[in-house]
Amino acid sequence: MKVIHEVGTRKTAVARATLTAGAGIVRINSRLFSTLPQNMFRAKIEEALLLAGDAAKKVNIAVRVNGGGVNGQAEAIRLALAKVLAVFDKKLHTKYLEYDRVFTVADVRRKETHKPNCQGKARAKRQKSYR
C-alpha cells in the first residue's frame, strides 16, 4: 500500500495527515491520540474516526498541525483525517458528505481585516453627532 498525504485547513491552522499501513494508531504532533485530554476538541477529532469504523483500524495516521488556536487546529485535524481516510476508502467520501459537508470541504471563512480609522474593530465607524 502506498503512503497517502492530505491537508486540512481552518482559519490559520494547517493540519497535514500521512496515512500508512498499520494497526490503527493515530498520532497528532508525535503524541498518541489516546493520550490527549478528554474534551470537546478531542470529540471533534474523534468524530471522523468513529464514522470511518473499521477502515481507521487498518491504517496508521500521523498528523502534524500548526498555526491557529485549539478550536481551529481541532477542525483542521478533523478535516485532514476525513480527507485522508476518504482517499483510502472511496465509500467513506459519500458517508462523510451525507453526515456533514465539513468533513470533505474546507471552510474558507477568515477573520475580517481591520480598516484604517476604525478604533480597532473591523467594522466600527466613527460615531456621528449632529449637534
Q: For the segment 58-78, what is each residue's pLDDT rounded down to a tens digit?
A: 999 999 999 999 999 999 999
pTM above 0.85, yes or no: yes
- Which H or E run includes 61? strand 59-66
CA–CA gap between residue 30 and residue 93 (Å, rounded): 26
In a 3-state reduction of DSSP, which class is residue 21? strand
Q: HSE, CB side, 13 Å, CA atoms: give it for residue 115.
A: 8
What would the mean pLDDT of 79-98 be, rounded to a whole number? 94
Q: Which of these, 124, 106, 108, lies nearest to 116 by C-alpha position?
A: 124
CATH 1.25.40.10 fits 4-103, yes or no: no
What mean pLDDT, rounded, does the chain reach?
92
What would the mean pLDDT of 28-40 be, rounded to a whole number? 93
Torsion sign (Cα): 100, 106, 107, 111 = positive
Q: Domain-by-domain residue ranges, the chain?
A: 4-103
Looking only at the bridges linking them, the beta strands covering 26-28 and 59-66 are parallel
Q: Looking up cell 478604533, which residue turns up?
A: 119
